[in-house]
Amino acid sequence: MKTQKLLMMLTFVGVGLIALGVGVNSAEATIIGPYTADANTLHLYHFDEDSGAVVDSGNGTTRNLTVGAQATQGVSAFAGFGKALDTDVANDAAHARSDTATAISEWTGAGGAFTWEALIKTGAITGESQQIITRQDSTPGFSQFRIVTEGELSLVIRNSANNGNVGGNAVIPTTGDHAFVADEWFHAAVSYDGNESGTDNLEFYWTRVQDSVVTANLIGTLTLSQDIVSASHKTYFANRVNGGNDENLQGVIDEVRISSIVRGPGDFIFFIPEPSTLVLLAVGGLMLLGRAGWRRRR
């Protein structure tokens, strides 16, 4: 009888510990960051610098960035991500750029596959195009990952002066868990598997950055009919500088990662948290106590 009472008391304690453990676990952040470069990270920019060049922390050819005169470094990033770059100025000089024109092979992997991504915070998604990652200069051809005026994420490619634009757009949500909210942080990404002949080879992600999110939010799957094979270009972040065009990001950019592979919805800053140690200990203790009580009753 005493053993049964003891087991009952310990069960109540264990259930309380489990509930406490679950509560602690659900309150923990589920955002991983900042990124550390893996073997497939070609370029990685944390934008943590208060001034000077933005350091490339990737595992490809190092391409540090020059910051345009109108951009502001060292502004607040999402919690845990250090600092960021503010480009919310109506000026072409609000950007960060790779001053060296580089071949597209530095920005894609085998067969042309890539994932381009960034954390962004902007005041609007309509009314004006806003560049996120752009490869373009005076050389014919370009590639642009951007927000377009209709409130859509877009990848547009032109591989030469006479080559028509290809790519696609995906509508940014305005309702639901990942609906656009002005001046809140979102993760934006585009990936391509390098298979020109395949369908659904282009994916767009738009995900609100908050602790309750455990996987990136896919907003569009399209078909890209050709690899990016353009000539060498300079690369711009949060704007482009080409013939006086002003398409700056109307806010802040951070944590840009250029990958040589397709990254899926579970490969970004979001993840499913593992059970807390407290929960595991409580469950293990209950199992041992139950086993001991069963032996006594035999």
10 and 66 in a single domain? The answer is: no
Does residue 64 lie in a domain region? Answer: yes
198 and 255 in a single domain? The answer is: yes
Does residue 197 lie in a domain region? Answer: yes
Q: Residue 207: beta bridge partners?
A: 187
Question: Between residues 235 and 28, which one has the greater pLDDT?
Answer: 235
Does residue 105 lie in a domain region? Answer: yes
Task: Give the pairing type, strands 185-192 and 130-135.
Answer: unpaired
165 and 192 in a single domain? The answer is: yes
Q: Is residue 54 over pLDDT 90?
A: yes
Query: What CA–CA distances, in Å, run from 49 to 68, 73, 80, 95?
Result: 14, 7, 15, 14
Determine if the peptide bond prior to 275 is cis (ω within 30°).
Answer: no
Residue 7: in which H helix or E strand, if any?
Answer: helix 2-27
Tokens of 216: 């990136």
Q: What is the pLDDT of residue 230?
A: 76
76 and 141 in a single domain? The answer is: yes
Question: At 229, is the pLDDT very low, low, confident or very high (cuts 50, 70, 90)?
Answer: confident
Convert the pLDDT of each residue in 116-165 to its tens digit: 999 999 999 999 999 999 999 888 899 999 999 999 999 999 998 888 89
Convert the pLDDT of each residue in 263-281 to its tens digit: 999 999 997 655 543 344 4
CATH number at residue 49: 2.60.120.200
Q: Which of 65, 1, 49, 38 is CA-nearest to residue 236?
A: 65
Residue 34 and residue 26: Cα distance in Å, rounded?
Answer: 21
117 and 12 in a single domain? The answer is: no
Residue 100 and residue 195: Cα distance in Å, rounded?
Answer: 28
The range of the structural domain enclosing residue 218 comes to 30-259
Convert the pLDDT of each residue in 8-49 to its tens digit: 443 443 434 333 333 333 344 478 889 999 999 999 999 999
